Amino acid sequence: MRIRLYISSALLVLASCSADQEELDRAVPEELLPEPTLMNVIIDLQILESQYQFRYQRPEVYKKALDSASYFVYEKHGTTREQFIESYDYYATDIDLMFLIYEAALDSVNRLATSQDQQP
């Protein structure tokens, strides 16, 4: 009986610690990018990566060049790679929200591609 009490107590403590950890993981970054800005950065990064993918086909060939070029995207949106990653990680803790952000980004990329295809 005493062992069950210890095990129950230990599980309760572990559960409360993991809940505290989840709250810490969800802490809002000091320089959180607004959702629309995050989405615009994602759009530009996806377009940039697709250009490198089309040209070089193998990620190991273009990874360093893509990483360097991505800094221009961050600069365009007035952010840094670190701020983008912190914001991305924050929003990624809400799967439904991240799905909506990516869905909107994909829709925007598809609209851009369609408009490019329709130009003479």
- Residue-wise pLDDT tens digits, 14-72: 455 544 455 545 688 888 999 999 999 999 998 888 888 888 777 777 788 888 889 99
Question: Is residue 101 domain-resident?
Answer: yes
Would you put residue 34 in left (φ > 0), alpha (ψ -120 to 50) or beta?
A: beta
Is residue 102 within 8 Å of residue 91, measured between CB atoms? no
Q: Is residue 8 part of a domain?
A: no
The range of the structural domain enclosing residue 92 comes to 30-118
Instruction: Assess if residue 87 is contained within a domain.
Output: yes
- pTM for this one? 0.70
Q: Is 37 exposed, middle or buried (0-12, 13-18, 19+ CB in 10 A)?
A: middle
Place of tokens 């759009």: 43
Do the domain assignments include residue 36?
yes
Hey, CA dihedral for 55, 57, 110, 40, is it positive or negative? negative
Q: In total, how many domains does the chain have?
A: 1
Assess if residue 90 is contained within a domain: yes
